[in-house]
Amino acid sequence: MEMTCPCCKNGDTYEGIGDPCTFHCRTCAHVWRNATLPTAYYGCCTGRNDNLPDLEKKYTDRLKGIVRYLRPGQRILEIGCAEGAFGAQVKQQLALTYVGIEPSPDAEIATSRLDRVHRIPARELDLAPFDLVLAFHVLEHIEDIASEISHWRRLCKPNARLIVEVPHRSGNPLLNNDRHQEHLHQFSLASLAILLDHAGLSIIEASTGHFESTVYCDSLRIIAQLEATSEQNRKELLSRFAACLAGPFVIYGVGGDFRNYVEPLLGELPVAALCDSSAKQQGKVIGQHRVSAYDPAALAKLPILIASTRHAGEIRKSLLAQGVMQQAIVSLDQIYG
């Protein structure tokens, strides 16, 4: 039977041998079953974390992986929040809003721990977008994974982080195949990364070896970011320039870095003057400005952007020698870093 890979959309696949029957992609190494669970199946499941050994080990691993992305005032959505125990730990770290999706009766317990819990799937939610969307060991249960990712993406703010964790292949290095009846997909690093990339998400970080349980001891976690549009990136850059350089400022250096990182925004920046120490650059007209040598007497009260990475050190040294205050000098890495 010919099948198209649900991750990379390649048709170079083959049917595995065994029960249950699986399909394998030669391109991205994804493995999946052409099966469907009853719609109400997960609505009846409850107490999945009851009496599990090393439960805190799982939560500690997860918290360690996301803590760098936590900020006060964030809106966080956890898809498949179970009884809300992990979300409760996150809420202890910072003042933020934590919302869960949980179809099972465990949602009743989660409601007492989280800010809000929904028992409907992500595709039916009409909520304000979130800063961080979490899905731990959910995606492998879903038949139409591409469609599901699109719903998760819709619930992300621009530049939001999406953190997805699934079993890495079988989830255990001693097993060649995951025979869990609920697991319809076995992801490789390549297949999950490609799936997210096709959904318009940029991979920030990918790692394996994360602990889910004593059996599923090898989990794959990918942290992705919603790809910003060109307009969104432009607005973000302009806000960074404004934060670092309040009011009119001087640009020092009009070489390659200037042309790449500053000139495209020149017409929207409050630039008072363009300066360069090179006689070859002086006299050139760029936009509405004529490049000149730096004049401390005329420009001393204005902050200065050093628009060069290679020569930033020597330019800074020269400006300091001319009486420019250290706090008035801004470098490109402060804006782009």
Give the DSSP per-residue string, 73-117. Answer: T-EEEEET-TTSHHHHHHHHHSS-EEEEE--STTHHHHHTTSSEE
pLDDT the model gives residue 169 = 98
Fold equal for 47-226 and 232-336: yes
Average pLDDT of span 113-134: 96
Whether residue 231 contacts residue 205, with contact meaning beta carbons closer than 8 Å, is answered with no
- Model pLDDT, residue 49: 81
Please give the average per-residue pLDDT across 268-275, as a whole number: 98
Sign of CA dihedral 230, 231, 236, 238: positive
pLDDT at 39 over 80: no
Q: Which amino acid is at 90?
A: V
In this structure, the number of other CB atoms found within 10 A of the CB of residue 285 comes to 9
* pTM given for the model: 0.74
pLDDT at 1: 62
Of 295, 188, 190, which Cα lies nearest the Cα of 250? 295
Residue 23 predicted with pLDDT over 70: yes
Domain ranges of the chain: 47-226, 232-336
Look up the CATH number of domain 232-336: 3.40.50.720
* Superfamily of 47-226 according to CATH: Vaccinia Virus protein VP39 (3.40.50.150)
Mean pLDDT of 194-200: 96
pLDDT in tens, 230-250: 898 899 999 999 999 989 999
Render pLDDT for 290-321 as a digit per residue (tens, 0 to 9).
Answer: 999 999 999 989 999 999 999 999 999 999 99
